[in-house]
């Protein structure tokens, strides 16, 4: 167990950030699954910008790698265009 005040604070901060990252990551993954499950093109086109925004925010916060974000967006766009 840490003994310094700064180390204890760092533990608290890390735990808070971890939980926030988990929440936003899971929310984004659920949105991606929802988008992939949609069969109506109009509905998918409407939801796509929201999902892309969520993915970009995760990449900006370094929760996911920028290349992974790019790959996800590309795959989703391809899927929507094939409908």
| Whether residue 78 has pLDDT greater than 80 | yes
CB 31 within 8 A of CB 55: no
CA distance 48 to 56: 12
Report the predicted TM-score, pTM, of the whole model to 2 decimal places: 0.87
Distances (CA, A) of 77 to 14, 37, 80: 34, 14, 5
| Whether residue 2 has pLDDT greater than 90 | no
Q: What is the pLDDT of residues 60-76, one digit of tens each?
A: 999 999 999 999 999 99
Q: What is the pLDDT of residues 23-62, one digit of tens each?
A: 999 999 999 999 999 999 999 999 999 999 999 999 999 9
């Amino acid at each position: 167990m840490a003994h310094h005040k700064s180390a204890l604070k760092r533990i608290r901060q890390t735990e808070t950030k971890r939980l926030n990252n988990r929440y936003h990551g899971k929310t984004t993954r659920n949105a991606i699954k929802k988008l992939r499950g949609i069969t109506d093109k109009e509905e998918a086109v409407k939801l796509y910008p929201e999902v892309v925004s969520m993915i970009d925010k995760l990449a900006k916060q370094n929760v996911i790698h920028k290349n992974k974000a790019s790959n996800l967006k590309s795959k989703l766009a391809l899927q929507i265009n094939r409908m």
